[in-house]
Amino acid sequence: MKDSYNREITGLRVSVTQKCNLKCFYCHNEGQEKNNDELSVDEIQRIIKIAKKIGIRKVKITGGEPLLRKDIIEIVRSISGYMDEVSMTTNGVLLEKYAAQLKKAGLSRVNISLDSLNPEAYKKITDKDYLTCILHGIKSAVKNNLRPVKINTVWMRGINENGLEEMIHFAYENNVILQVIEMETAKENENNLLYKKYHHDLLSVEKELKRKASRVEVRQMHHRKKYFLPFNGKEVQVEIVRPMHNSEFCKYCNRIRLTSDGKIKTCLFDKNGVDIISLIRDNETNDKLIEGFEKAIHIRKPYWC
């Protein structure tokens, strides 16, 4: 299904909880207002079935921290048969415990948040001393073939801006992909003191990567650039995610979002969303649920035009 800007929607980002065991100061809570409502396994499965009918082929499970759901293995198992790929974004704290079970349940791959390899910087960002747990979780993800394993690193001025070489070396040693992400915020918050203090434009990072790269590829989604760096006889992949003021990012965005309380959002910064869970709880037909998806996709527009 395509939106009015001719963008085909093939991906769905599904938040299963707002609970988290870290307190990252830059967290945007998936653009969702705080509440304790969560969809049941059956409700998530039905939404995924409808998503498949309209052409969605990939699901990414997010939170909060999705591994805090006691039924997360059941959630993955219940939806993995309907999608070409089910992946997950996690902070990695509990990943060592669950990696093998997630793979068996049908999870394809994981993105793991890791903003710094420096324990002091990591604690400053997350307010927790869980760095060792994360590193064990990354190794467990690789061991259990949840690949490609991607490390999500939000680049921040004054905290980790000088750690690129260290992160590249870590990616090489652990056979993972490094994904460098620009810190983002809504348009109305660009003068926020926190954003102004820590936001780091990634153009200088891209310039350095381009200089070192043996080749560069452009992904279809968001037109993200992937830099392949020669390193000790191998290649290390570094992907750049630049969402701020980036019309290319929006032009090639092919996914929508499902909040943990059952609303379809067209974008991270969509303040409203289409209420899909009320239709399910009112025992509406599949056709009505499809209409809900169609409504959300029809009103979808690029955030950065």
The mean per-residue pLDDT over the stretch 167-195 comes to: 96
Residue 224 has which token pair?
């993200």
pTM over 0.85: yes
pLDDT tens track for 1-51: 999 999 999 999 999 999 999 999 999 999 888 888 999 999 999 999 999
pLDDT tens track for 121-158: 999 999 999 999 999 999 999 999 999 999 999 999 99
Q: Please give the Cα distance from 297 to 292 (Å, whole number).
A: 9
Domains, the chain, in order of start with CATH, read 11-298 (3.20.20.70)
- Rounded to the nearest angstrom, the gap between the alpha carbon of residue 168 and the centroid of all alpha carbons in its chain is 20
- Residue 89 confidence class, pLDDT cut points 50, 70, 90: very high
Task: Give the closest residue to 149 by CA, choosing from 163, 135, 128, 165.
Answer: 135
pLDDT tens track for 199-242: 999 999 999 999 999 999 999 999 999 999 998 889 999 999 99
